[in-house]
Structure 1
Amino acid sequence: MAMSVGGDSTDTPMSDINTTPLVDVMLVLLIIFLIAVPVAIQAKKVNLPNVRFDPTTTKPENVLLAITGTDGQCQVYWGVTPVTHAELLDRAVAKLKYEIARQGGPTAPGLELPEVHIRGDVETPYRCIGGAIYTMQMAGFAKVGFISRPPPGDTIARL
């Protein structure tokens, strides 16, 4: 490494940048990355299923919500009945309590809680759908799913 002492008689500070340490650090980093990258990029082959979607099995105790949003207003339908946020919470709590009592109480063996299936309009803002999900989870529903339309041309093999 070289160092300039500044043999001028003007005694002005030297304004040149010593780039040798910078080049040394960059070369060390380059070598580290050349060694580390091939080790980090190792892929494991995984066989994924060829299923686009699974058909939903609708049980009579499941809750079906339809959510639309026009002009910034959210509208939630329980089945075909429009409900407000407070009514949605009250109905959800009542439905869950009824299903638990019908199956023998919270400690009954094989307790199957109902699910919530949501149909959301394409133009619906996410805050409307997210609010309904939050309300149903607040009521105690653990499984919330979305109902969607399959792409055209897809066929479903029913077993």
Structure 2
Amino acid sequence: MAFALRNQNDSEVAPMADMNVTPLVDVMLVLLIVFMVAAPLMAVGVPVDLPKVAAKQLNEQKPPIAVSIDAEGNFFIDQKAVTSESLFDELNAATENDKERRIHVRGDKNVTYGKVIEAMGKINASGFTKVALVSEAPAPSAPSPR
């Protein structure tokens, strides 16, 4: 907000040259909110009555395959123990050769970094592209007493 300080003795009042932008900002914020609320309503298409079909869904969501590495460096597919050499074949069998299946790699926090990279390398060499590392989220901390 702009204002000018004047002396009591000044007989001539100089016009204020500063523009008050507070009302402009208020109006712009209201317009922004109106457009944010109205934009999703304008994106809706023409209402149509869609036909019923007996086809199955295109995105069949299968649960991800878990590849685990325990503290000793042993590999597991879900709960089945596998060797490092047979990881490729067992993974293809578990996913039924579906290369679009999600793979979750779960490594023990005490296992060496090289074992986790070895597992990810074998999974990548198998042709799987949807590979994710799984970690545990920290427990929410209790508020401290004051």
TM norm structure 2: 0.49
Q: Which has the higher contact order (CA 8 A, sep 6+)?
A: 1
TM norm structure 1: 0.45
